[in-house]
């Protein structure tokens, strides 16, 4: 599915500093972030099924009681839903089968097992009420689930269309929520992210939630979701260089000692690979011939069927109706589009290995 819209409920919440939040998040979030529940407070079906059937052996908080009863926190890392279901229904060793857990109870239980520790060890209402940190993060979480989760994932670690926010440069550089708020308020039209009209407290809540997720993700060294630099090391450097110099045709525009010198110090991992495959936002030039015969050249500033515009060497903007002029656009980045139909995945991985030597 795709695309979203912004209608947010107004949520009042208290302000807290990022450092307070980080401490709170580190203390309560699981070291293994997983798909978060839409709203942990609503997880009653699964939590009830767990409490009624499983807690007696595996603990109220899924902590287990070793050596006899294994903890179930993180059980979804080594067992799939069908495997868990089979275990629940048939039992194993001294664990009895409970074939009666079916339908909504079963779905709820599986959902519950996928939730984080925080859900399992949620403080009681009285404790929560006295903690501004929790209210703040929860308010941000609710807003995030309604408006952001579809694209960025329930845990902010990436989803449909939207990038992993816990690796976002904007998020990592953000202090006090200002940078995050700006992106949310203004959107990213070039990437089709819409703008959202949230209040200042709503934005603070959102930022608090996202920063909490960064902390949670960072705690999960070695088992992190998404794309790590280490994942992109399967190519062969020499084969990549041969492709660069030969069939790729890269040297028509690029040079390893010229424009690409040091590229691997400027960009790493996925950012480098994306840039290598298509330089988003690369400039095109245009030459416009007016009815008088005069030609105006510059950087292409706008083009649709009806209007062509450029910025000239002084930075001034000029536009014309396409029907009234002749124009010629030169888009060097189009060469990257031509390559999409020709690459093998190995070509890409090899090129990536070679690019990473250009330090």
Percent composition of the chain: helix, strand, coil (DSSP 3-state, to 5): 50, 10, 40
Q: Could you say whether residue 2 binds another protein (CB under 8 A)?
A: yes
Supply 133's token pair.
Answer: 């940190």
**327 or 343: CB nearest another protein:** 343
Specify which residues 287 forms β-bridges with.
297, 328
- Count other C-beta atoms under 10 Å from residue 53's C-beta: 17
Residues 156-215 touching another protein, rule: CB under 8 A, are 158-161, 163-164, 192, 194-197
Stretch binding another protein (CB under 8 A), from 13-21, 43-51, 176-184, 311-319: 43-51
Coil, strand, or helix at residue 231? helix
Q: Could you say whether residue 84 binds another protein (CB under 8 A)?
A: yes
Q: Could you say whether residue 281 binds another protein (CB under 8 A)?
A: no
Contact between 240 and 350 (Cβ < 8 Å): yes
Q: What are phi and psi of 306, to 5 degrees?
A: -115, -20
Q: Could you say whether residue 122 binds another protein (CB under 8 A)?
A: no
Q: Could you say whether residue 278 binds another protein (CB under 8 A)?
A: yes
Q: Could you say whether residue 39 binds another protein (CB under 8 A)?
A: yes
Could you tell me whether strands 285-289 and 317-321 are parallel, antiparallel, or unpaired per DSSP bridges?
unpaired
Q: Could you say whether residue 105 binds another protein (CB under 8 A)?
A: no
Binding mask 296-335 for another protein (x = CB under 8 A): --------xxx-----------------------------
CA dist., res. 154 & res. 143, Å (int): 11
From 98, 108, 206, 248, residue interacting with another protein (rule: CB under 8 A) = 108
Cβ 17 to another protein shortest distance, Å: 28
Q: Could you say whether residue 146 binds another protein (CB under 8 A)?
A: yes
The C-alpha angle 283, 288, 293, rounded to 5 degrees, equals 160
From 348, 351, 354, 356, residue interacting with another protein (rule: CB under 8 A) = 348
Cβ-count burial of 187 within 10 angstroms (0-12 exposed, 13-18 middle, 19+ buried)? middle
Q: Could you say whether residue 147 binds another protein (CB under 8 A)?
A: yes
Residues 6+ apart with CB under 8 A from 266: none
**88 or 260: CB nearest another protein:** 88
Stretch binding another protein (CB under 8 A), from 60-68, 121-129, 170-178, 231-239: 231-239
Supply 156's token pair.
Answer: 């902010």
From 117, 118, 138, 142, residue interacting with another protein (rule: CB under 8 A) = 142
């Amino acid at each position: 599915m795709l695309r979203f819209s912004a209608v947010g409920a107004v949520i009042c919440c208290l302000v807290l500093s990022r450092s307070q939040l980080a401490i709170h998040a580190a203390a309560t979030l699981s070291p293994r972030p997983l798909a978060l529940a839409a709203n942990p407070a609503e997880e009653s079906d699964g939590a009830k099924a767990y409490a009624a059937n499983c807690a007696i052996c595996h603990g109220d908080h899924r902590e287990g009681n070793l050596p006899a009863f294994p903890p179930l926190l993180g059980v979804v890392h080594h067992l799939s839903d069908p495997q868990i279901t089979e275990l629940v229904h048939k039992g194993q060793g001294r664990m009895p089968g409970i074939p009666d857990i079916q339908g909504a109870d079963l779905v709820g239980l599986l959902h519950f097992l996928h939730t984080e520790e925080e859900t399992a060890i949620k403080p009681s209402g009285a404790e929560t009420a006295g903690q501004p940190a929790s209210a703040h993060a929860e308010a941000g979480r609710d807003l995030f689930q309604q408006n952001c989760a579809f694209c960025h994932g329930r845990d902010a670690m990436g989803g449909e269309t939207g990038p992993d926010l816990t690796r976002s440069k904007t998020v990592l550089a953000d202090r006090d929520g200002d940078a995050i708020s700006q992106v949310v308020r203004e959107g990213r039209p070039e990437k089709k992210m819409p703008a959202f009209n949230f209040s200042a407290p709503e934005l603070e809540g959102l930022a608090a939630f996202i920063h909490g997720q960064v902390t949670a993700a960072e705690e999960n060294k070695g088992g992190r979701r998404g794309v790590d630099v280490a994942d992109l090391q399967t190519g062969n450097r020499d084969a990549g260089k041969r492709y660069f110099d030969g069939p790729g045709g890269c040297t028509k525009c690029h040079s390893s000692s010229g424009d690409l010198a040091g590229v691997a110090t400027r960009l790493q991992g996925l950012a480098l690979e994306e840039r290598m495959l298509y330089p988003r936002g690369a400039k095109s030039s245009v030459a416009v011939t007016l009815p008088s015969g005069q030609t105006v050249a510059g950087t292409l500033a706008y083009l649709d069927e009806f209007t062509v515009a450029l910025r000239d060497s002084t930075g001034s903007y000029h536009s014309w109706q396409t029907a009234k002029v002749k124009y010629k656009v030169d888009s060097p980045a189009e060469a990257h589009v031509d390559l999409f139909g020709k690459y093998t995945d190995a070509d890409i991985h090899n090129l990536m290995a070679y690019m990473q030597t250009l330090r």
